């Protein structure tokens, strides 16, 4: 029980004690963050869920409660193919960023002894991210285009007779751009986890006769799983919400859920886009929940 003592203004010896419930200070401390999350997260999501049940036409929306938007979303084979295509992008980009991100983080954490050099190299990795995502994405076009640098090198060296067409405006270009954009979001949490590993564990495993591969698979990888899980959540959520990369790098020949919602909003079909947003949010939350059931990431947060 928390007690607050007040001194009476008229009589210094007259005192009053007000007993506060023990839960009140905790609720007062949590109130500012609760208000911020409620205003900028919970209420907007609630509004999207409400609008997803409204009716609409080419001119305006009609408040109500109809399930037509969800029926069209879940009952259309085109929509299912779009979701599967988005999941395909998420899976491939996740696998590539995990592979690249782990080895980059491992090199920085275990092969660079100087903390100053680690900071310099990590800063080098982050320098491209000081520019806009759109600029870094578009920079691949003169590299992968039909008359781009890659095709000029391949044709000029005699390896090919004609330029390769599938380097740009294809799924390959979309995945390559996404890997370039989101690898750092995998490197950072894995590097943070690897730096927390007690080096005495590695030395103990080496003294016990373990090879470098055994140390990697039995000591380092298991202890780096929380960082991998956090990086996975970052990368998957970013890929699922990306529409500009798919639109530009595929040349309009591919689709994603986010791009579909963007097109619906451009046609003023806000309730249909809201329904897709709710379905996508539920899908992402289920994926995050599955990750958190497999790996405990609370100690890394």
Q: Is residue 180 situated within a structural domain?
A: yes
Give whole-number Cα distances, 144 to 30, 148, 166, in Å: 51, 5, 9
268 phi-psi bin (left φ>0, alpha ψ -120 to 50, beta other): left
221-243 tens-digit pLDDT = 999 999 999 999 999 999 999 98
> pLDDT-based confidence at 92, cuts 50/70/90?
very high
CB contact set of 174 (below 8 Å; sequence gap of 6+): 89, 245, 246, 249, 250, 254
- Is position 14 within any domain? no
Mean pLDDT of 237-255: 89
Q: Is residue 16 domain-resident?
A: no
Percent of the chain's residues with pLDDT above 70: 91
Is the residue at 250 inside a domain?
yes
- The CATH number assigned to the domain holding 235 equals 1.10.3720.10
Could you give the number of structural domains in the chain? 1
**Residue 174 domain flag:** yes
CA distance 189 to 195: 10
For the entire predicted model, the pTM comes to: 0.84
Q: How far is CA 281 from CA 49, 241, 274, 296, in A?
A: 10, 10, 10, 22
Short-list 230, 239, 288, CA closest to 90: 239
Has residue 84 got a pLDDT over 90?
yes
- How far is Cα 80 from Cα 91, in angstroms, rounded to an integer? 16
Is 32 within the bounds of a domain? no
Q: How far is the CA of 68 from the CAs of 44, 52, 54, 126, 269, in angstroms?
A: 22, 9, 9, 45, 12
Residue 56, classed as helix, strand or coil, is strand
What φ, ψ does residue 282 adopt, rounded to 5°? -65, -40
Residue 70 within a domain: no
C-alpha dihedral sign at 259, 260, 266, 271: negative
3-state DSSP call for residue 268? coil
164-195 pLDDT per residue, tens: 888 888 899 999 999 999 999 999 999 999 98
**Structural domain that includes position 147:** 78-300
Tell me if 241 is assigned to some domain.
yes
pLDDT at 11: 54
């Amino acid at each position: 029980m928390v007690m607050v003592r007040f001194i009476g203004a008229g009589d210094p010896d007259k005192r009053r004690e007000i007993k506060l419930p023990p839960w009140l200070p905790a609720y007062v401390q949590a109130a500012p963050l609760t208000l911020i999350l409620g205003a900028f997260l919970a209420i907007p999501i609630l509004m999207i869920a409400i609008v997803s049940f409204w009716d609409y036409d080419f001119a305006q929306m009609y408040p109500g409660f109809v399930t037509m938007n969800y029926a069209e979303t879940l009952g259309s084979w085109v929509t299912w193919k779009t979701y599967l295509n988005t999941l395909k992008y998420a899976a491939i980009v996740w696998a590539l960023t995990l592979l690249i991100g782990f080895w980059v983080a491992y090199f920085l954490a275990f092969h660079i002894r100087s903390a100053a050099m680690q900071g310099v190299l990590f800063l080098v990795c982050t320098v491209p991210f000081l520019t806009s995502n759109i600029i870094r994405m578009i920079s691949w076009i003169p590299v992968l285009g039909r008359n781009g640098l890659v095709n000029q090198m391949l044709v000029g060296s005699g390896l090919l007779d004609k330029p390769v067409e599938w380097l740009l405006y294809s799924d390959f270009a979309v995945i390559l751009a996404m890997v370039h954009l989101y690898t750092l979001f995998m490197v950072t949490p894995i590097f943070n986890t690897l730096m927390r590993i007690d080096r005495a564990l590695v030395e103990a495993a080496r003294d016990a006769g373990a090879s470098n591969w055994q140390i990697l698979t039995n000591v380092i990888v298991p202890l780096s799983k929380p960082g991998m899980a956090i990086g996975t959540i970052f990368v998957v959520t970013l890929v699922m919400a990306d529409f500009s990369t798919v639109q530009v790098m595929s040349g309009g020949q591919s689709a994603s859920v986010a791009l579909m919602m963007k097109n619906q909003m451009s046609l003023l079909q806000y309730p249909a886009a809201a329904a897709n947003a709710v379905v996508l949010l539920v899908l992402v939350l289920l994926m995050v929940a599955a990750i958190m059931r497999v790996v405990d990431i609370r100690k890394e947060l």
